[in-house]
Chain A
Amino acid sequence: MTIIETIEQLAAKLAGLPDWEDRYTEIIAMGKGLPLYPEEFRSDQFKVKGCQSQVWLHPRNEAGVLHFDADSDALIVKGLVALLMNVYSGRTPAEIVASNDDIAKELSLEQHLSPNRANGLASMIKQIRLYALAYSLLKP
């Protein structure tokens, strides 16, 4: 699936949960499903700036494919991080760089999020894209 297809699939999944409680329960469950974040990367270097809660994002380039370790100390944000991992982890840097960066809007999550949280999401996407850009510029 392409990035956009994955986004659409997630959007449909959330749209199928009209009640706020179900939607947040789903997001929280996704957060709880994130793999354990490696403690050695829980440092300021891997902290995403511009989020209200603490978010860590650690990129790994495995044979030209980007994987991310990610975590947050807040559950809802962690769920959003998990959502982003669904979309962006396991892609090539070029694919991420070429994608559109308004996932928050695509997921029509913004209306269910306080503006600051939406900003946090935008900061995370920006950071993912910066890593992708950096890796795409590296000589193979």
Chain B
Amino acid sequence: MIYDLRSQFPILQRHVHGDKPLVYLDNAATTQKPKAVLDAIADFYVTSNANAHRGGHALGAEATALYESARGTIGRFLNAAPESVVFTHGATEALNLLATSIERTYGASLRGKSIVISEMEHHANIVPWQVLCERTGALLKVIRICDDGSLDMQHAQELIAHNCAVVSIAHMSNVLGTINDVETICTWAREHGAHSIVDGCQFVVHNQVSVDNIGCDAYVFGGHKVYGPFGIGVLYGRPEWLTVLEPYQAGGAMIDNVTFEKTTYAEPPLRFEAGTPNIEGAIGLGAAINWLSSIDRKTVADQETSVTEAMIDGLLQHDRVRVIGGDYARNGIISIVVDGIHANDLGTLMDEQGVAVRTGHHCAMPLMRRLGLQGTLRASVAAYNSIDDAHRFLDAFSRSCRMLG
């Protein structure tokens, strides 16, 4: 069976730079949205718009039910209870929430302890921890990567074993496509009394996730990289941990009882959702997850792999091309450098031919420094990309290389 999902994504019908049909291969930055998601958002405003968890009227009840039903959908997607799903504005906010709440909960006891991340993290999983370290006197420790783009697991084990308070690791690298053995990392964290956080931004769009199997204390991802809308993200928190963590922001909805003397907080997840939430975003994300669950994920993953492999095979025909992290299939993400050609030049010329790729450091400057690179050209594949897209990508690539000499 081959899925032709393209027709479900209205934007993929459009042309750019005049008459060039769009080949969208910047999916690791954000995916396009299927009609099911666009309709769910429009339907909400057309039929049920009201604030959630507020009014006692019909629309209020509908909006609340839709919002909470999205939470349930995401819980099932992660194999977790709905109470463990907190809506945030994005993956970045989810990580900031964790860093802030951890600081408020554990405060001074973090002094001298370590926060462990890795060399391949996105800035969103680096900077919040640096801030936490500056404020508490905790120490940021960084797991090295090997030349093949994998984590140095021995180094990981050493760092987690020594006075580690929190380990926060990408499930899958947004630059290299490497999938990390987070199950083992979370096991080590548990053994040494550290909290484990997994950044699932790039992983969830390609693979099934079970937070139970991973054994993490928290798992985060953003909606817009899984066919959902912008401005919505998910923080899964192990229920026992969420009840211990101090709130992040304060305001309406996160309270139990407010007096000027003493306010008590609501139970999680609402404790972490101060203010009116992004209701359309949650509903849109719920629709995206339902859409994703309606297609056979194994079939889609296989399709993505064959498109990725066709692209890598074609790229390796050029002897100046180096696939960063090794030549094997890269889980839908391919980062390359071309000898003597600047990635930005390639990106510009490929864009002129309708092929959207990303060039630069991909919000992972420390990784670029580790690899000794200024930046890469990254192509990333999603469910709607076809072998035809792979061929158009390769044609545009070859033509651009010829022009750049």
Residues of A in contact with B (beta carbons under 8 Å apart): 20-21, 24-25, 28, 52-54, 73-77, 112-114, 117
Contact = CB atoms under 8 A, between A and B. Distances in A.
Interface of A: prevailing SS: helix
A1 B349 CA distance: 32
B344 interface: yes
Contacts of B349: 24, 76
Given A21-B403, A75-B342, A54 B348 contact: no
Contacts of A54: 374
Nearest to A20: B352
Contacts of A28: 403-405
Given A53-B342, A54-B374, A74-B342, A117 B404 contact: no
Interface residues of B, number: 16
Residue among B345, B359, B360, B403 with the highest chain A CB neighbour number at 10 A = B345
B351 interface: yes
Contact of A76 (B345, B360, B374, B405): B345
Contacts of B360: 52
A4 B119 CA distance: 49
Contacts of A73: 342, 374
Contacts of A24: 348-349, 352, 403
Given A24-B349, A52-B360, 6 more contacts: A20-B17, A21-B403, A24-B352, A24-B403, A75-B404, A77-B345
A112 B341 CA distance: 20
The 10 closest A-B pairs by CB, nearest first: A74-B342, A74-B344, A20-B352, A53-B344, A76-B345, A75-B345, A74-B345, A76-B348, A52-B344, A75-B404
Residue among B342, B359, B374, B405 with the highest chain A CB neighbour number at 10 A = B342
Nearest to A76: B345
A49 to B, nearest CB: 15
Nearest to A72: B342
Contacts of B17: 20
Contacts of A117: 344, 348
Given A24-B403, A28-B403, A76 B352 contact: no
Contact of A25 (B351, B359, B403): B403
Interface string B392-404: 0000000000011
A74 B360 CA distance: 12
Given A52-B360, A54-B374, A77 B404 contact: no
Nearest to B399: A21
A20 B18 CA distance: 11
A44 B341 CA distance: 22
Nearest to B341: A75
A113 B342 contact: no
A32 to B, nearest CB: 8
A24 B346 CA distance: 12
B404 to A, nearest CB: 6
Nearest to A32: B405
17 contacts: A20-B352, A21-B352, A28-B404, A28-B405, A52-B359, A53-B342, A73-B374, A74-B342, A74-B344, A74-B345, A75-B341, A75-B345, A76-B344, A76-B345, A77-B345, A112-B352, A113-B348
B348 A114 contact: yes
Contacts of A20: 17, 352
Interface in B338-383: 341-342, 344-345, 347-349, 351-352, 359-360, 374
